[in-house]
Chain A
Amino acid sequence: MMSDIHATGPVIVARNLKKSFGELTAVKDISFTVDKGLCFGILGPNGAGKTSAIRMIYGFSPITSGDIHVFGMDIKKQSRKIKARIGVCQQENTLDPDLTVMQNFEVFARYFNIDKITARERASVLLKYFAMEYRQNARTSELSGGMVRRLVIARALINRPELMILDEPTTGLDPQSRHQLWERLESLKKEGMTILLTTHYMDEAARLCDDLVIMDHGKILAQGSPRSLISEYTGGNIIEIAEPEEAIRVFSRERKVRQEDLGHRLMIYADNGYDLYNEICGRFSHKSCVLRSATLEDVFLKLTGRELRE
């Protein structure tokens, strides 16, 4: 089988990828590799170039320069073959509102030349998997936001893809729906699915991604596993001090600890911050002083800054 030749190689190889829309350059020379069976995340604030980047990978947008190989095939030459083997969940709801849930599967399966009987069989399994089997005759315009997203993802699995590309899959969902979706994505990964997702939710990335890049202004700022990024950029703990007195700033500067001063709030990054926490919070005056574990969100804010976007 042709596909077995590349089965052990990386699923996606993107090299020196660039994307321009006239004057605007949305993606500026990014390179990354996604290995088989892993979940790879592209993180970034709104407008960072995440969607532009993944649209090139699933053959939706032409590449301005650079190249992408998916399953060892060049996207510029073999996009149809590649697209037959991936599942894509776009940001917007792309379901057919005039059709029922089951009809949506049948129509979508036809795009992949999958016959009706096979489509119905697979759809039933997928609907059960996403806890929606009792809604199969509902019109999609009657579904809630969480169900719509589950259905878009379920529909994208109709061709049994080896790679799943998800563009902000949980944006706008309630906590219950998000957690349910994460569980489903985790079990897909266990079954060997390679997943590429974009998100601006750090808890989502920390939970799902084995490897990720943080992008901003079209460039990759950092790459690694969630844990390695945390230890590299922030250390294990953060001491967060509200309304710190000036003496704390002097003290921390003398100690040469890694810190970020936000005015009303001082963040001190430390690998093992317990003693430092006791010393600072005991000696100085402040409104509140908290010791907590560093998260991916701290790394993200540190790298992309705190000013508002768009």
Chain B
Amino acid sequence: MNVQISLRFIRVWQRNLTVYRESWRVNFLPPLLEPFFYLLAFGIGFSGMITSVHFASREIAYVLFIAPALIAINMMNNAFFENTYGSFVRMYYQKTFDAMMATPLNAEEIITGEIVWGATRSVIGTVIMLMVISGFGLVRYPLGLLIIPVSFLGGFAFGAVAMVFTGIVKKIDLFNLPVFLFVTPMFLFSGTFFPISGLPLWAQYFAWTLPLTHLVYLTRALSLGMLNTGALVSFCYLTVFCLVMFPLAIFKMQQRLIK
């Protein structure tokens, strides 16, 4: 199948933005409230037991350690859920893609628009969370501002891999599988709530193959005002991950949509 992606994919993105704006008040709440809950539970609840954590040869306070991880998890969740459940509902139940394919749009543009929209959801969530977390004085600026473009990159990566699953699953219930086998383990073991160095060596190696590990590392480095080699490596990893997953997503979705 040939691939032709014009800037018309923005029309798909705009459609999702229009729908999002219809219910933006509800959509704004989770990224606004989630950091409060997590910082309260982990930051205050745990800080009695864990005072400081080792990161990039520095000792940092535990809240400084988990705050950027919460942002990175939110990037993953926003894009992943948008491009699995959200895209599946549009494709399968609302027939939105069918309507689009009868217009000058083609399947590749629809999928591109969807993934860019998933990444945009990550950016929106990240901006809101950054404001809240910065209110606690947990982000170093100006380097911390780079977290915003990183949220687009991370969102694109997770949106693309989500779209691959959307191209494969037969029923919406089956998204439970990637959620429990992919998203939840990453949420726990990607250096989010404790340093990877606390894991056995084989698990450390494994953790470094996961995209969230790199997104957490990059976000954490930037929020601490560091731009080290590790951060650059993680940036490169995420870029390569996008370059692999995006064409795969286009391919799997073309197979699914074009009959």
Contacts and interface: CB of A to CB of B under 8 A. Distances in A.
Interface of A: 21, 55, 58-62, 79-80, 83-84, 88, 90, 92-99, 103, 106-108, 110-113, 156, 159
A90 B18 contact: no
Contacts of B18: 99, 103, 106-107
A94 B103 contact: no
B15 A98 contact: no
B14 interface: yes
B5 interface: no
Nearest to B99: A94
A239 B119 CA distance: 68
Given A62-B258, A83-B104, A112-B103, A98 B19 contact: yes
Given A61-B258, A90-B95, A90-B99, A98 B104 contact: no
A21 B259 CA distance: 8
Interface of B: 8, 11, 14-15, 18-19, 22-23, 94-96, 98-106, 258-259
A97 B23 CA distance: 13
B259 A94 contact: no
Contacts of A110: 11, 14-15
A113 B109 CA distance: 14
Nearest to A55: B259
Given A61-B258, A99-B18, A111 B98 contact: no
A181 B96 CA distance: 23
The secondary-structure label for the interface of chain A is: loop
B104 A112 contact: yes
Contacts of A83: 102-104
Contacts, number: 67
B258 A80 contact: no
A110 to B, nearest CB: 5
Contacts of A55: 259
Given A94-B98, A97-B94, A111 B19 contact: no
Given A96-B15, A99-B18, A110-B15, A90 B98 contact: yes
A248 to B, nearest CB: 51
Contacts of A80: 104, 106
Nearest to A165: B102
B19 A96 contact: yes
Contact of B99 (A21, A98, A108): A108
A61 B101 CA distance: 10
Contacts of B100: 111
B95 A99 contact: no
Given A21-B259, A110-B15, A60 B106 contact: no
A146 to B, nearest CB: 19
B104 A111 contact: yes
Contact of B102 (A21, A60, A62, A107): A60
B100 to A, nearest CB: 6
